[in-house]
Amino acid sequence: MQINLSERTLHVKEGEVAFQQNRKEHHSIIISITDELGKRIGLGECSPVAGISCDADSYIRMSDVAQLINEALQSEDYTKHLAPYPALLFALESALYDYQQNPLLYDTPFAHSQAGIPSYAVVNVEGYEGMLQRSKRLILKGYRHLKLCVREGGEDDLMRVVCTLRSRLSEDTLKLSIDALGALGIEGANKLVKELKPYGIHQIEQPIKQYQWKDTAELCRMAREEGTAPIALDEELIGVNALEEKRILLDTIRPQFIVIKPMLHGGITGAIEWANEAMKRNIGVVVSATQEGNIGLRNVALLAARIFGSRCTETQGLGTGPLYRDDTEMDIEMQGNKLWRSLVED
């Protein structure tokens, strides 16, 4: 078995908007594993998110990445060794499982091309007209669940878009989620969750910055007891690696949902831990990509299919679509609002 590393720079398609709006390029490290004959191959993608990932500055030199991998594979448990480096852990786990065709990821209806995974699409533009027009385009493509991103100062435009969409499409026809990206203050978040109450919002993701557990817990209590918009945690999960820490966070804040992003939240191992602990507490789970290319997106989808199994009927965060114009061709494709793995031989 030989492990190879390569750097990739992908370029955002004209008219598409990346997770971080002003970024037109996406840098990643690809791990590929081959056998002695160079035939079997496993692929993983390491794509930390600048300014968000806890390990964003850890992969500047390829020699450092190689050393981290070598040390991890020589340790008793490489997943624990790489826990502080979730993007690299996700890439290495994915490549190893792909190389082995490990049934943990490769024995599900999705992996066997027997089922697609329903996915929402992200509306990550600002201004009423921009948000509304992008929402319309995505609905025409077949999406039945949209996640609208809002930044500080954009609450009024968001509410106008929500009102317009809801005046035409009911909750049964179109689900709406909100991602506040941790940009709101507690007063703004309180106001927004109350204003959204009549519109049947599926969830509002990370309304305030992480580490404000008391205020976030209060927003979750309001959702439970007063029927305001349900709260989902996302950035709050970053850097919480120990199992006991995960339990304490969930028991203290008691969110309605968590959004698990393996590139940010502990790779495959960490994501499964988060999902198991959330499900024990009847907390909803959404598995989501960040800004990965097709290699990373395929591996996030395989993980989502494993976590939910035959229950993978709720929408997941996999509807990024063909974001980059020079991406690697992979065995996945969007058909309507579902991500499918292209037909593979059992």
The pLDDT of 162-167, averaged and rounded, is 97
Inter-CA distances, 67 with 71, 130, 308, Å: 6, 45, 34
- Picking from 287, 290, 332, 246, the residue whose alpha carbon sits closest to that of residue 119 is 287
Q: What is the pLDDT of the chain when averaged over all its residues? A: 92
If 0-12 CB within 10 Å is exposed, 13-18 middle and 19+ buried, where does residue 197 land?
Answer: middle
Amino acid identity of 189?
Answer: A
270 or 345, which is more confident: 270
User: What is the pTM assigned to this prediction?
Assistant: 0.93
**What pLDDT does residue 321 have?**
65
**What pLDDT does residue 242 have?**
94
- Picking from 329, 302, 338, 341, the residue whose alpha carbon sits closest to that of residue 101 is 302
Does residue 16 have a pLDDT over 70? Answer: no
pLDDT (tens digit, 9 = 90+) per residue, 314-337?
A: 899 998 766 888 998 899 999 999
Does residue 346 have a pLDDT over 60? Answer: no
Per mean pLDDT, which of 28-37, 43-52, 249-258 is the most reliable? 249-258
Residue 283 pLDDT grade (very low, low, confident, very high; cuts 50, 70, 90): very high
**What pLDDT does residue 138 have?**
93
Does residue 38 have a pLDDT over 90? Answer: no
pLDDT (tens digit, 9 = 90+) per residue, 173-216?
A: 999 999 999 999 999 999 999 999 999 999 999 999 999 999 99
Return the DSSP state at 311. Answer: G
pLDDT (tens digit, 9 = 90+) per residue, 217-237?
A: 999 999 999 999 999 999 999
**What pLDDT does residue 57 have?**
86
| Two tokens, residue 182 | 């941790």
Q: How many angstroms separate the CA atoms of 179 and 213, rounded?
A: 18
* Residues ≥6 apart with Cβ < 8 Å to 90: 44, 45, 46, 262, 263, 267, 268, 296, 299
pLDDT (tens digit, 9 = 90+) per residue, 294-314?
A: 999 999 999 999 999 776 778
Q: How many angstroms separate the CA atoms of 227 and 211, rounded?
A: 24
Please report the domains of the chain, with CATH numbers, ordered by start residue.
2-101 (3.30.390.10), 120-287 (3.20.20.120)
CB contact burial 60-83 (16+ within 10 A = b; e otherwise): eeeeebeebbeebeeeeebbebbb
- Picking from 243, 289, 238, the residue whose alpha carbon sits closest to that of residue 265 is 238
1 SS3 class:
coil
**What pLDDT does residue 291 have?**
85
